[in-house]
Structure 1
Amino acid sequence: MSAPSSSPNRWWALVVLSLTQLVVVLDGTIVNIALPQAQIELGLSDSERQWVVTAYALAFGALLLLGGRIADYWGRKRTFLVGMVGFGAASVFGGLAQNGTELIAARGLQGLFAAMLAPAALALLTMTFTHGKDRNTAFAVFGTIAGAGAAVGLLLGGLLTEFADWRWCLLVNVFFVILGLVGGLLFLTESKADGNNRYDMWGAITVILGLGSLVYGFSLAEGGWGSLDTIGFIALGVVLLVLFVWIESRVAQPLLPLKVVANKVRGGAFLIQAVSGSVMIGATLYLTFHLQIVLGMAPFQSGLASLPLTLAIMVVAGIATNLLPVIGPRPMMIGGPLLVAIGLVYLSQITADGNYFTQVLPGLVIMGFGMGFVFVPLQNLALSGVAPHDAGAASATANSAMQIGGSIGLSIFTAIYAASAGSLEGLSGKPVLEAFASGYSAVFLAAAVGMVLASVIAIVLIRGTKSELLPQGDAPVMVHAG
């Protein structure tokens, strides 16, 4: 059984689980700032550079459902500890990589073990904080860290790249892993699903291949949306995912019980999480490129320049946590994405000779305000009303939505960037910087459209009274994010 809500160790468990969430989320972006240096040292092509980011998010997202079921059936604490060890080993492999193939493979292995870690951590959190204000507080802290992790990764990546070496963006995980292992052994209590459980292997195969094919197809769109390869892989991905749904509706113990996503509120939360992931993983990568390549910032400067996004998320998280029982999650889920969209539209006005304080900073602050209002209620909505037996699967779906959204979003943004920037052949000096800025501007506009779509999803699907959407009833307390 899991530690009950009254256990004195539950707050230390929250610290350990939140640290884990921080690691798996920030690793989606920590290498972003290091990519220009890594590309030069390892001789990466632009396509390989993108796959350093995509390999992690794709492996993470595609394997999360299987990871969630492993956590449910094998034991959540055991899965957590094994995932920690594997994640640390993959990080060392990546930190010592000698070429692009090794680095991309290491990032994929990181994603594989993160797919064990993340659902185990969220399921342990769900089983540890079962109701009341403690649950609301725990989910608010966890959700805020999940939301801010991408921006924290940019700051830490800049610090390590400039004052140590880009390889430390991977090697630093060893310290987190040691803390996670010690904390996990001391403060986490084992739990797993009851009964005689079987793995849904056909479901696992179809969803992994389907998501992989879909993301790979979108990654090929940089060369043109009309190419046979692009259309073929995207179509194959869709067919495999339809087959996956068909399998899940017929097996006795599905990898993803369809009731988890059939609920309109949870389904809406998963969709919004996917769009938010595309912005936090994809758009922040192009923000990094603009800060370093166009504005000429050093890596640490670039990381500091992204910090207002994190700070704004953390400040708003406390406000949103207090507002949640007063106004309910629906207004936040509608208004938050619209604020993010406004910030992205502001960022889309960047120019080659622009200034950070006038063209970038206000947009980041507005984005952070919006993301704070999205992330606080999002995790709770995604797991609301889920049976304990399905906690790992629901947790995996929530994380998978963000990672796959980030993978597909990054691929789409790359194609939009390439189309807007045009050919750079023969350009140098200011003209090439103008082309870069034009491409980045198009990416931010596309991300803004996505966040407007997220608001529409909330209007249509996140419906119900405060008590229906927030069944715990007790008011959450202020979250102090530091």
Structure 2
Amino acid sequence: MTEHTLTTEPAAGRPARAPVRSGLALAIILICQLMLILDATVMNVAIPRIQADLGFSPTGVSWVMTSYSLVFGGLLLLGGRAGDLFGRRRMFVVGTAVFTLASLAGGLAGSAELLIAARVAQGIGAAMAGPSTLALITTTFTEAKARMRALSLFSAMASGGFAIGLLLGGLLTEWISWRSALFINVPFGLAIVLLAPRFVPDPPRRRAHLDLPGAIAGTLGVSGLVFAFTRGGSAGWGDPVTLASLGTGAVLLAGFLVLQARGSQPLIPLRLFAERNRAAAYANFFLGPMAMMSMFFFLTQFLQDIQHFAALQTGFAFLPMAAMVFALSRSIPRLLPRFGPKPLAVTGTVLMIAGAGWLTQLTPSSGYFETLFGPMILMGVGVGLAFSPMNVLVMASVPTEDAGAAGGVLQTMQQVGAALGLSILMTVSGSVTRSAAGSGVRGPQLMVDGMTAAFLGASLLAGLSFLVALTFRRHHTTA
């Protein structure tokens, strides 16, 4: 079967087989993407049990989520360039294999250090496979409507996967153990490794180099900032290590930008930001996860530590949000051509601001349906409208030769935004908690004060996303 038969346009004389193989190729790619996104949040619900089993400190346990997102996001650009150099399908398969082995190691981890090491290895595998998912969709589906449908499904996985991870994590943690949330990746990863070489087409390679200095500067720069914000939440901003990490991270990121501006084959081609709508889409894909991750992390703590929900109940508590994200994502092929990105992004970000703002009213006695169900619906609809079109907007118009870089930048924005946003809002929460404790506040109210401060911060981040949404052009997308 030649490569062109894998597109949505059937080969002459064989109309029935091409769509089936195109559908199978898409299923393989989407399952991989969902698996990579799930692991950003699937451990959230299990945090209390992981902390008890492996002896994490209260601040250290956040690295179970942050280490994965940070390494995933930090190395995505390098993974995209490696796909151009070594072949996108090859990197897709090798990255999935690394991710699968790391998941097995994480499930077997007997200490906090081993679990964090496994999560870092998962991030490396995800960074190898992640950029190729979008690039393979773009090169497999060449017809405009079919590409938009495929990218919309991808958006549903990318946006809704965070919430689905919480639901799946709750199910597995309650019914089996937190380790099963890692073990479940193994059969799916093996299936992808075996099936992808047969059914996913391999686009032509192009000449490229890896730009290791840029990758090292960018990854260490972001890591320095995340570490500084995470440590600042516990040690304070006068701590020398915090200040040194913050300064080093800022210098490295400045160096990264200089390398990208001067390099002949940069990891981030600046031409990707030349088109206004694409640049705004990238900015929103950075800001949106910064606000979203606080909701997942802090609401999980609220439900389990304050309301005493079981892991399974906590997972199902996020079901309304996940359902809204998926419902809106499936509507993007109809909504985006009709209205264009600006009305969708503006409406979605306003709903996100309202949802995060509503959560600032939490008290220790707040019930789920009285105080949490409404914000879940608002956030789900908001995320579905504001961010599901972003994948389509970026990838539907990008030249084929830039597909790997464009996909890598898009997912880098998402993962780095999630890691940086969580570290910033944990700092906000920790600062308010210390101040409240100094004023004599104790017990559940102390925790809730920190959480509501984080939600206020999330609403401000969503407000920045709203301002970016105003910059979209009014005309309809041509995808």
TM-score range, shorter chain: over 0.9
Gaps of 5+ in 2: 10-17
SS at match of 2:344: helix
Match of 2:402 among 390, 396, 401: 390
% identical equivalent positions: 36
Q: Aligned partners of 2:45 and 2:187: how far apart in 1? A: 20
8 Å contact kept, 2:84–2:208 = no
Gaps of 5+ in 1: 473-482
**1:152 corresponds to which residue?**
164
Whether 1:458 and 2:461 are equivalent positions in the alignment is no
Match of 2:478 among 457, 471, 475: 471
**1:260 corresponds to which residue?**
272
Q: For 1:192-341, list aligned pairs within 5 A.
A: 192-194=204-206, 196-222=207-233, 223-341=235-353
Moved more, 254-263 or 96-105: 254-263
SS at match of 2:56: coil
SS at match of 1:422: helix
8 Å contact kept, 1:63–1:115 = yes
Moved more, 65-74 or 210-219: 210-219
8 Å contact kept, 1:144–1:376 = yes
Match of 1:354 among 344, 350, 366: 366
The one-letter code sitting in structure 1 at the alignment partner of 2:473 is R
Q: Aligned partners of 1:238 and 1:424: how far apart in 2? A: 31
C-alpha change, 1:381 and 1:234, in structure 2 (3 Å) is: farther
Note the C-alpha offset of 1:24: 0.7
RMSD: 2.0
Note the C-alpha offset of 1:301: 0.5
Q: Aligned partners of 1:244 and 1:5: how far apart in 2? A: 39
Note the C-alpha offset of 1:219: 1.7
C-alpha change, 1:319 and 1:204, in structure 2 (3 Å) is: closer
Moved more, 45-54 or 231-240: 231-240
The one-letter code sitting in structure 2 at the alignment partner of 1:300 is L
Note the C-alpha offset of 1:381: 1.8
TM-score by length of 1: 0.92
The one-letter code sitting in structure 2 at the alignment partner of 1:439 is G
Q: Aligned partners of 1:231 and 1:263: how far apart in 2? A: 36
Note the C-alpha offset of 1:141: 0.8
8 Å contact kept, 1:210–1:241 = yes
**2:445 corresponds to which residue?**
434
Note the C-alpha offset of 1:28: 0.3
- Number of residue pairs the alignment of both structures matches: 466
Q: Aligned partners of 1:291 and 1:96: how far apart in 2? A: 28
8 Å contact kept, 1:193–1:388 = no
Match of 1:105 among 117, 120, 136: 117
The one-letter code sitting in structure 1 at the alignment partner of 2:40 is G
Q: Aligned partners of 1:236 and 1:383: how far apart in 2? A: 33
The one-letter code sitting in structure 2 at the alignment partner of 1:441 is T
8 Å contact kept, 1:424–1:432 = no
Note the C-alpha offset of 1:224: 2.3
Note the C-alpha offset of 1:417: 1.1
The one-letter code sitting in structure 1 at the alignment partner of 2:91 is T
Q: Aligned partners of 2:47 and 2:294: how far apart in 1? A: 14
Whether 1:169 and 2:172 are equivalent positions in the alignment is no
SS at match of 2:432: helix
Q: Aligned partners of 2:330 and 2:101: how far apart in 1? A: 36
SS at match of 1:46: coil
SS at match of 1:32: coil
Whether 1:133 and 2:136 are equivalent positions in the alignment is no
C-alpha change, 1:346 and 1:235, in structure 2 (3 Å) is: same
8 Å contact kept, 1:71–1:392 = yes
Note the C-alpha offset of 1:294: 0.6
Q: Aligned partners of 1:132 and 1:122: how far apart in 2? A: 15
CA shift digits 1:416-457 (9 cap, x unpaired)? 1112223797999x9411111111111111111111110101
**2:7 corresponds to which residue?**
4
Q: Aligned partners of 2:144 and 2:332: how far apart in 1? A: 17
Note the C-alpha offset of 1:121: 0.9
8 Å contact kept, 2:156–2:330 = no
C-alpha change, 1:267 and 1:230, in structure 2 (3 Å) is: farther
SS at match of 1:249: helix
Whether 1:37 and 2:49 are equivalent positions in the alignment is yes
Q: Aligned partners of 1:167 and 1:113: how far apart in 2? A: 19
Q: Aligned partners of 1:426 and 1:170: how far apart in 2? A: 40
Q: Aligned partners of 2:102 and 2:424: how far apart in 1? A: 28
Note the C-alpha offset of 1:384: 4.3
**1:446 corresponds to which residue?**
457
